[in-house]
């Protein structure tokens, strides 16, 4: 199976996007090619990647608060449940790991939720950057705390007026 990939520029650095041709499968902070492993890669034009790049540009310009993309992240059933719950966190909002664990039906699983959050393969679109520590501090982010802070600040500054 061919995987399509592209890199887009953003305020948080280059982003590596992949698709199977029907859904977005990864959005990694580049350079992330090492994380992709072996496979048949194509840089040919892909409708899903074009759409993702457009929506990311709108997000970074403050014109988009929700993504409308077909997603197909690879993960365990628990990870998929956590990643789905992440998509319910409102734009410019935050939630802590304990609250997220409660939301997915397992209030004692905050560590497992944290591990699943850290393995999110579709950053930004699946907003794992909106998960913070119980004390309100910025904690753990695969892209680094500076990127997490930048994303949260961007959303707070560009929050749409109702």
- Scanning 61-144, the segments in alpha helix (DSSP H) are 77-86, 97-103, 110-118
Please tell me whether residues 150 and 81 are part of one structural domain: yes
Of 128, 131, 151, 154, the active-site residue reads 128
46 catalytically annotated: no
Task: Specify whether the CB–CB gap between 15 and 8 falls below 8 A.
Answer: yes
Residue 26 lies in a domain: yes
pTM for the model stands at: 0.89
For 131, the domain range is 77-157
Beta pairing partners, 19: 4, 24
Please tell me whether residues 113 and 147 are part of one structural domain: yes
Average pLDDT over the chain, rounded to an integer:
89
Coil, strand or helix at 122: strand
Please tell me whether residues 119 and 48 are part of one structural domain: no
Sorting pLDDT into bands at 50, 70 and 90, what band is 36? Answer: low
Residue 69 lies in a domain: no
Sorting pLDDT into bands at 50, 70 and 90, what band is 25? Answer: very high
Over 90: is that where the pLDDT of 104 sits?
yes
Residues 55, 59, 60: CA angle, nearest 5 degrees: 120
Please give the residue that has the higher pLDDT: either 26 or 45: 26
Q: Residue 49 burial by CB count (10 A; 0-12/13-18/19+): exposed, middle or buried?
A: buried
Count of domains in the chain?
2
């Amino acid at each position: 199976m061919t995987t399509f990939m592209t890199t887009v520029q953003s305020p948080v650095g280059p982003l590596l996007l992949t698709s199977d041709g029907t859904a977005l499968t990864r959005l990694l902070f580049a350079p992330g090619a090492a994380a992709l492993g072996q496979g048949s890669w194509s840089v040919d034009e892909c409708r899903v990647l074009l759409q993702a790049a457009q929506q990311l540009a709108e997000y970074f310009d403050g014109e988009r608060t929700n993504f409308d993309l077909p997603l197909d992240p690879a993960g365990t059933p628990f990870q998929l449940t956590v990643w789905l719950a992440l998509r319910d966190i409102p734009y410019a909002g935050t939630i802590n790991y304990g609250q997220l664990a409660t939301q997915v039906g397992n209030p004692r699983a905050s560590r497992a939720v944290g591990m699943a959050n850290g393995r999110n393969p579709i950053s930004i679109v699946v907003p794992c950057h909106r998960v913070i520590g119980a004390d309100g501090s910025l904690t753990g982010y695969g892209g680094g705390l500076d990127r997490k802070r930048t994303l949260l600040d961007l959303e707070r500054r560009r929050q749409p007026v109702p």
